[in-house]
Amino acid sequence: MEKWEKLSKMPYKEIKDLQDRKLRAFMANQIYLYSPHYSNLLKELKIDPIKVKGIDDLRHLPFTYKWDIAPTDEEPQKAKDFVIRPDEEVTEKYGHLAKMSMTGGKAMVEERVYDFKPVHIHFTTGRTAMPTPFVYSKRDLDNIREAGYRLLDVFEVTPDDIVVNCFPFAPHLAFWQTFFAGEKMNVANFHSGGGKIVGTRNLMDAFEYLRPTVAVFIPGYCYYFLREAVKQGRDFSSIKKIFFGGERVPPGLKDKIKDLFKQLGAGEVMVLATYGMTEAKVAWPECPSHEEYHGYHLYPDLEVFETIDPESGEPVGEGEEGEIVYTSLDWRGTAVLRYRTGDIAKGGLLLEPCPNCGRTVPRISSNIQRKSELKEFSMTKVKGTLVNLNNFFPLMMGHPDIEEWQVEMRKRNDDPFDMDEIYLYVAPKENIDREKLAADLKQKVLRDTEVSLTDIIFKSVPEVVSQLGMETELKEKRILDNRPS
Amino acid sequence: MQAWNKVSRMPAAAIKKMQDELFTKMIREELAVRHPYYRELFKESNINPDQIKGVEDISNLPFTEKEDLLPREADLRHPKKFVLEVPSEGEQKGKKKGFALFGKKDTGPVPSDYKFHTLYFSAGRTGKPVPFEYTHHDLRNLKEAGTRAFDVLGLTRDDTMINAFTYAPSAFFWQMFYSTVETGSTALQAGGGKVLGMEKILKAMDNMEAPVLVCAPGYAIFALQTLEHFGFSAGNLERVITGIDYAPMEAVEKMRRLMETVGANDKRVQRMYFLAEAKSGWAECEPDYGYHTNPDHIFVEIVDPESGAAVGEGEAGEVVITHLDSRGTVLLRCRTGDIATGGLVTEPCPNCKRTVPRIMGDIERKAYYFDLHSGEGPVRFDGNRLRKMMIARDDVLVWYLEINRDGNQDALNLVVKGVSGSDEGELLKSLEQELKKEVAVPLTVESATLDAVANKIGLEKFITEQVIFDNRNH
């Protein structure tokens, strides 16, 4: 791992040299030797790892797909083959010289082996496949700590801040990335576990008790939490920054959240976004700016990002729209090569220094259409066309007249062979003309998702909040597919 | 805290001497100077800190009750009164030139040791959760307490475990987490049934081939009883570490029986005792050998729960703790409401030979002693005994008890769900007979569905299940 202060100022050419060097070593010394899946695959395809001279040669390697790694009933242990693990045979083969050494060589080999030993685990949150474990060795925990430090550094969080982590507790990346970030940055913190764990009221009490300067949230819950706080007349005047994970934050929602913080006594709160994926084992920060989007800052010593044409699999040019393909660099535990994330970066990969902060590390465009959590569930066949349910999020979250909402897909008469129906539940703000709102929504939903709603059903805020499972589910149920299969 | 290999072998006299020093230092240099609550209290009660020479003087100091700590409706920041103030830079004594050849030089308080770092809450089983502030110094102590507990339990980096303690921003979860990270053992921080649910926890145990399950006793018993229902085997399981909730020996025995029934590889059960007030938890090397405390961190007293007078070595009484080496929230003589049935012993542990004081026997809850009104006057009902009795039975899956007011007297209603295959009629009858011997108030016993009982006791909803509900209006 490089020093962030140095890395983030390196010219791109040096960064690329570094990546080339690291990839060569990683392929030859780790992946080829110790990763059972890739070791077999490379042998099968007769790919000589020595021939991978740098990141430009990645294109000669096959892609890895979610289903290659996700466990199935038949193969529940599949994910283990992606774990870099020197087994006893390998240790024996390569460690014998060190073991014979007079100066504690044996102990050192054992220590090295423990560098690889998994100590911590996260799971993917996908709803279609079985949760896939991604494991961290002790050495990897240093990587996730460093990534967290960098994330907080980009967000200009300092050890004088107090951070409240409101991500729901789970063996998932979001909660733990925030935890490890705080650990490395040495910032005072409170890892609440979210509303489901401590209860919304207790969480508000904790805010007033601690007077934090930074809060970390899932957007949907944050919006609910802040509205409740306004109702109770709470004082959150200490908050300066808030950052989100889990899903994209549409501009309309940013405005709503800033406005709510003003009502809670805070000044101009900076709303920040992160992009992360379980497979990469870290999350990246969006460059902070009140107005413009400058992309997420990547960690080129920990990974390689490629953007490709999702159809042909061919790389696209700098700044061109493409699917994000991720390759681990210098990790132990679970490591993947050319992992197809399914996420589409609308503005592509950017290699120019950031016009906002001047950091030189590669950036991935802020406008990412996520598949990993939403799309696999959302790109679903309703009325015979593929509907991109992602588009409900910016539309509904950013709509000024809407407090809460939920989409439900059903079959007419609950008959699996009958027509698909799509209902929108809406809790509007007070004193809103419902007819006007309904007409507006029907037209906008058609425009953004190319589907016409069966009906819009108006409900009260508490009713929709309860339908969403805001206080009871790990993540609220925004889109329900209740079609019988 | 000091080096564990030294502390765990210190003779009792040396431990006492160390505690005297730590205690007087804590009183004189911390509480009397920078603790808002005790500084005030000492002044009000005319307590002269200089007259406190050692731990034997502790009985001259007042107790701290849980109520003193609770946040007030009008003042959510009231618990801050128990937090040490950060010393000013000026308080740090100037560093002398030259080398310190003999021991460390005391350069006075280091401000960074006092700076707030993280916040954990008490489990809030008996009321509103109390916040406890941890500084870096406390976090180091928590990690040390965790490493020591693993040492006492005999867990090493070769172990693989599922930490199924319910997630809460509390010391019990985080101590367990830090123990695994510091020791380097493989662990899934599952967050308990509330986060993952029983099936996923069992599945993870299976996939990870984890021999160690860390779990609250009630949930561990439930998991072992329902394992087969979910279609999992316990072939890899070797030991269960319990904590959060109290595990009487009946629970240990039951877990051992169940582990044998489900074909576990071994049937070791070990207990831990976490106290939010102590900002850490302690472990037993083997059940019934006592929780090995950390005498360089916490001073433990056992007192008569009624009179507050100290009891003799090995005698039952309420656990009272005093911080000897904490920053952030610091407590003096805090009454925990927990009863140690075997008291405190200072003899070396006959099993592992460690010399630290041990809290013996089962831990019981003072809050589980109920004064009931019967037709013939007041009677005492011990919920702890009932809990042990219910745990000991192999035919009960889940249960709860309600205490209701029925006219002039109180009545008990026991609701149970038996294990699958048990004769419900028989179960209810035998429970009624057994319980009638215990208490002389009207009693009803009824059965309910698993869902109804699990929901009521909060099996996957609360940190640990709640089994006794006092519905009387006090």
Looking at residue A255, which CATH number applies to its domain? 3.40.50.980
Predicted local distance difference test score (pLDDT) of residue B103: 56
Q: Would you say residue A475 lies in a domain?
A: yes
Beta carbons within 8 Å of B243's beta carbon, 6+ residues apart: B165, B172, B176, B214, B216, B271, B272, B273, B274, B281
Task: Name the pairing type of β-strands A339-345 and A368-369.
Answer: antiparallel
Nearest CA in chain A to B120: A190
Q: According to the model, what pLDDT value does residue A375 have?
A: 35
φ/ψ (deg, to 5) at A84: -75, 110
Q: Is the pLDDT confidence value at A109 over 70?
A: no
Q: Decide: A348 and A318 in contact? Cβ < 8 Å.
A: yes
Q: Which residue of A has its CA nearest to B174?
A: A191
- Partners of A206 on chain B (C-beta within 8 Å) are 119, 131
Q: Collapsing DSSP states into helix, strand and coil, what is residue B406?
A: strand
pLDDT of residue A376: 37
pLDDT at A265: 94
- Is residue A46 domain-resident? no
The confidence band for A451, taking pLDDT boundaries of 50, 70 and 90, is confident
Q: Name the domain boundary from A264, A285, A306.
A: A285
Is-contact B365 B315, C-beta < 8 A?
Answer: no
- The string of pLDDT tens digits covering residues A210-220 is 999 999 998 88
| A159 shares its domain with A274 | yes
CB-closest option in B79, B181, B191 to A169: B191
What is the predicted pLDDT for the residue at A379? 42
- A214 occurs within a structural domain: yes
Which of A232, A251, A285 is the C-terminal boundary of a domain? A285
Q: Which of A285, A314, A341 is the last residue of a domain?
A: A285
Spell out which residues of chain A touch residue B194, defining contact as CB-CB under 8 Å: 196-197
B291 pLDDT more than 50: yes
**Does A257 reside within a domain?**
yes
Asked if A198 has any chain B CB less than 8 Å from its own CB, the reply is yes
Asked if the structure places residue A386 within a domain, the reply is yes
Min distance A275 CA to chain B CA atoms (Å): 23
Binary contact (B76, A209; C-beta < 8 A): yes
In a domain, A33, yes or no: no
How close, in Å, is residue A332 to chain B by CA atoms? 14
User: What's the whole-number mean pLDDT along residues B207-228?
Assistant: 91
Provide the residue type at B428 as one letter.
L
Min mean pLDDT across A159-168, A249-258, A370-379, B151-160 is at: A370-379
Residue to mutate among B186, B455, B464, with most A CBs inside 10 A, is B186
- Check CB contact of A200 with chain B, cutoff 8 Å: no
What is the extent of the structural domain holding A252? 155-285
> Is the CB of B127 inside 8 Å of chain A's CB atoms?
no
**B157: Cβ contacts below 8 Å, ≥ 6 apart:** A114, A117, B183, B184, B185
- Per-residue pLDDT reduced to its tens digit, A63-104: 999 889 988 888 888 899 999 987 665 556 555 555 555 566
Asked if A171 and B188 come within 8 Å (Cβ–Cβ), the reply is yes
pLDDT, tens digit, 9 for 90 and up, residues B331-355: 999 999 999 999 999 999 999 999 9
For residue A435, what is the domain's CATH number?
3.30.300.30
**A117–B184 CB contact, under 8 Å:** yes
Query: Is B186 close to A118, i.e. CB distance below 8 A?
Result: yes
Q: Are residues A166 and A281 in the same domain?
A: yes
Looking at A20-29, B71-80, B172-181, which range is the least confident one? B71-80
Distances (CA, A) of B244 to A170, B188, B335: 19, 18, 18
Q: What is the 3-state secondary structure (H, E, C) of A384-400?
A: CEEECHHHHHHHHHHCC
Number of domains chain A contains: 2
The answer to whether residue A55 sits within a structural domain is no
CB contact (8 A) between residue A141 and residue B181: yes
Which of A118, A190, A197 is facing B119, going by the closest CB pair? A190
pTM: 0.89
Mutate to test the interface with A, among B119, B206, B236 (most CBs of A within 10 A): B119
B167/A169 Cβ within 8 A: yes
- Same domain for A168 and A276, yes or no, is yes
Query: In this structure, are A279 and A395 located in the same domain?
Result: no
Cβ A119–B115 below 8 Å, yes or no? no
Output the average pLDDT for chain A. 87
Residue A130 in any domain: the answer is no
Chains A, B: CB contacts under 8 A, how many? Answer: 81
How many alpha carbons lie under 13 Å from residue A287 in its C-beta half-sphere? 23
Mean pLDDT of B390-396: 92
Distance CA A306, CA A337 (A): 11
For B200, name the nearest residue in chain A, comparing CA atoms only: A131
Q: What single string gives the DSSP state of each residue in B101-170?
A: -SS-------HHHHSEEEEEE---TTSSPPEEEEEHHHHHHHHHHHHHHHHHHT--TT-EEEE-SPP-SS
Q: Does A197 touch chain B (CB under 8 A)?
A: yes
pLDDT at B203: 87
Paired sense of beta strands A402-411 and A479-481, if any = parallel
Q: Would you say B173 and B199 are in contact if contact means Cβ atoms under 8 Å apart?
A: no
Query: Where does residue B329 rank: exposed (0-12), middle (13-18), buried (19+ CB within 10 A)?
Result: buried
pLDDT at B101 over 60: no
Find which of A115, A209, A213 to mutate to test the B interface (most B CBs within 10 Å of its CB): A209
Domains, chain B, with CATH or none:
1-86+110-361 (3.40.50.12780), 368-470 (3.30.70)
Q: Note whether A161 and A275 are same-domain residues.
A: yes
d(CA B236, CA B256): 15
